[in-house]
Amino acid sequence: MLLRNVFLLLLLTVAAVAPARADDGYRLWLKYDRIADAAARQQYARSAQFIASAGTSPTLQAASGELQRGLSGLLGQAVPVVGTAGSRTGGVVLRVDKQASANGQPLKSEGYRLFSEKNNLVITGRTEVAVLYGAFALLRQVQTRQSLAGVNFSSNPRIDYRLLNHWDNQNGTIERGYAGSSIWQWYQLPEGLAPRYTDYARANASIGINGVVINNVNASARYLTAEYIGKVAALAGVLRPYGQRVYLSVFWAAPKVLGGLPTADPLDPQVKQWWAAKSEELYKAIPDFGGFLVKANSEGEPGPQDYNRNHADGANMLAQSLGRHDGVVMWRAFVYKAGSGDRFKQAYEEFQPLDGKFDPKVLVQVKNGPIDFQAREPFSPLFGAMPKTPLVLEVQLTQEYLGFATHLVYLGPLIKEVLEADTYAKGAGSTVAKVVDGTVDQHALSAIAGVANIGSDRNWTGHPVGQANWYAFGRLAWDHTLSSAAIAQEWTKMTLTTEPAAVRTLTDMLVKSRNIYVRYTTPLGLHHIMGESIHFGPQPWLAKAGRPDWTAVYYHKADSIGLGFDRTATGSNALALYKPEVQKQWGNPQTCPLDYLLWFHHVGWNQRLSTGRTLWNELATRYYTGADSVLWLQKQWAQVRPQLDPALHADVTARLQTQRKEALWWRDACVLYFQTYARQPLPAPLAPPTRTLAEVKDLVNLYQLR
């Protein structure tokens, strides 16, 4: 007894003397801090007395190592890794079993199953990486305080290729990155392999991401040189044990600038030969190289159209260059030619006619909406319109149009909204999710891509809640049937706190945050009214730019009569790109959901909406209630202070202050600007802004200065 008391006393002493370490966010959701509740800890410990893994491969070592690290941390005691369980019980057993099945069905190659056997907890799957995924699933059970008793569940990914797209440049900057510079240190590679690469791979593996496009779609040719292929191969070596393949964005004109050829025409034999040789070189260095991502003939990038060839000509040539290798080509549909009508329709017009023309190794990568990652967009009409072509859904995690790393916006609901949108391609229930996962059209390939929000900031994502977006993307890529609220709760428990009331408060904040952002920036279906080029702050007055469709007035079309872009038959008729069921929902301004109203209709200022308010009154009210909802976010956040790490809490507290300030910029800018067209006062009880439109313009126009 004496000894035991002394022990406790001393442990407490040591804890008190140890410097208080602020949580800098580096560990993401893989925190593994000791469970505070001793009873719960002991309960878990009974099921985790050892980790049995006979595997010596890097992947199985990663799995047992992660379990050891995680369980030792969570339980506050060392958990040994042993070769085999033998007759021992009460441990975790890792088992690769080529016959592994669940519910009478063989598991997919990446699917895993957890079950109890002879008082051990078995993690099994047909492949090593499946076991690694299962290990993370077990840790998640403990991190979210689920019971391990009688555990028996399995999980298969619904989409095969679950990819992060890094818009990282060769010089270390990140296009639309708000969390520091690139985590890839090209000048140190291949000799220098930053420990951070491994932590990045762990994080990805924990949520099932299995591929990484490491460079910007506005690609440098540099990555295709022997020197850089060596660097990429070194990175691939770090990611491989964690089940992630490396992909490259390619610069279409590479055969010219690197190969010295006179052309990059995809039908030119020398060009074909150059790409085939380049693919061979890549696979020699990186046997599991994933393939290519291409942005061609888009925003100034070269492409096959420079030679009067079409996207399919280009994509197919690249696909054929891969030869016998297990790689794919993801060809982006983000195109909009200057001066050819409603930008909403242009990707559709270029790509839909090519359906059926693509090589089986080609996937066409489509942004969630028809314009460009706005805070809310209707789903792209390409989904459901190219049944013969596997489509990659591209969503943006980096908050280019969602307040950079300042605004708290949890993207789970945004991603779910598009996944659940019904294209009616093969009747009701043909959701975007089912188009993308291949079930609607029975595709052999399926893929989803998230434009990464990851940078060199210590906490990876700038805003601590940005981590939740990385997390939610991975979880939904694996299983799009998960609810965004459940994912938010999971992330909160793993990352912030497990205290139930605080978990509820935080989950509620996360779930509501995106609609709040929409309200104070682009309510009722407004879109593309942000600052030119930088995409920061409001600039609805932007009327001149390099192209009409880079302005704001092109999109909101405010005039003395009303507001919004008529995309019905009386306007651009973009609505006709959708199936009749969708047209019916959105085509009538009386029944069109208010969230999409101004996407499709030019609505009179005094037209009464389903809320009972006129358009002007509803618009103004939403700007005001949206901006005031940030006060609510602040209040909720203040409430959970006792449960959160002080440094992390202070960080988000400051960001919320800035968010409130900038929400007021948006509110005042947009209300005052649109008021010059609506020519009527704000409805009671809204108090007019205390500044003039000129003053708000000055505030945000400065972000246009070099």
**Which spans of this chain sit near its own copies (rule: CB under 8 A)?**
3, 6-7, 10-11, 14, 17, 22, 78, 170, 172-173, 178, 180-181, 187-188, 191-193, 195, 220-222, 225, 227-228, 257-258, 404-406, 455-458, 536, 647, 651, 654-655, 657-658, 661, 699, 702-703, 705-706
Nearer to its own copies, 517 or 536 (CB): 536
Residue 245 to residue 243: CA distance in whole angstroms: 7
Q: Which two tokens stand for residue 386?
A: 């190219």
Give strand pairing partners of 530. Answer: 538
Closest distance between its own copies and the C-beta of residue 376, in Å?
23
Nearer to its own copies, 17 or 687 (CB): 17
Which residue in 23, 66, 350, 400 is the catalytic one?
400
Closest distance between its own copies and the C-beta of residue 662, in Å?
9
**Cα–Cα distances in Å, from 463 out to 330, 624, 644?**
30, 24, 15
Catalytic residue at 175?
Answer: no
**Cα–Cα distances in Å, from 94 out to 41, 123, 147, 157, 594?**
22, 5, 19, 20, 51
Closest distance between its own copies and the C-beta of residue 355, in Å?
33
Closest distance between its own copies and the C-beta of residue 225, in Å?
5
Nearer to its own copies, 101 or 225 (CB): 225
**φ/ψ (deg, to 5) at 421:** -65, 140
Which residue in 299, 326, 559, 698 is the catalytic one?
299
Residue 667 to residue 661: CA distance in whole angstroms: 10
Closest distance between its own copies and the C-beta of residue 527, in Å?
22
Closest distance between its own copies and the C-beta of residue 574, in Å?
34
Residue 129 to residue 134: CA distance in whole angstroms: 8
| 412-420 and 484-495 helices, crossing angle to 10° | 150
**φ/ψ (deg, to 5) at 366:** -120, 130
Catalytic residue at 299?
Answer: yes
Residue 570 burial (10 A CB sphere; 0-12, 13-18, 19+): exposed
Closest distance between its own copies and the C-beta of residue 271, in Å?
18
Q: Which two tokens stand for residue 272?
A: 């074909």
Q: Is the peptide bond before 157 cis (omega within 30 degrees of 0)?
A: no
Closest distance between its own copies and the C-beta of residue 559, in Å?
29
Specify whether the CB–CB gap between 168 and 214 falls below 8 A: yes
Nearer to its own copies, 316 or 406 (CB): 406
Nearer to its own copies, 20 or 444 (CB): 20
Q: Which has the closest alpha carbon to 398: 483, 476, 473, 489?
A: 473
Closest distance between its own copies and the C-beta of residue 658, in Å?
5
Nearer to its own copies, 10 or 36 (CB): 10
Residue 580 burial (10 A CB sphere; 0-12, 13-18, 19+): exposed
Which residue in 372, 422, 618, 662 is the catalytic one?
372
Nearer to its own copies, 221 or 371 (CB): 221
Catalytic residue at 400?
Answer: yes
| 226-239 and 269-285 helices, crossing angle to 10° | 40
Nearer to its own copies, 677 or 703 (CB): 703
Query: What stretches of 402-442 show up as alpha helix (H) in DSSP?
Result: 412-420, 432-436
Q: Which two tokens stand for residue 493?
A: 């428990």
Query: What stretches of 588-681 show up as alpha helix (H) in DSSP?
Result: 597-600, 615-639, 646-678
Nearer to its own copies, 310 or 406 (CB): 406
Q: Which two tokens stand for residue 542?
A: 């932007």
SS3 427: strand
Q: Which helix (H) or strand (E) holds 294?
A: strand 291-294
For the annotated catalytic residues, the residue numbers are: 299, 372, 400
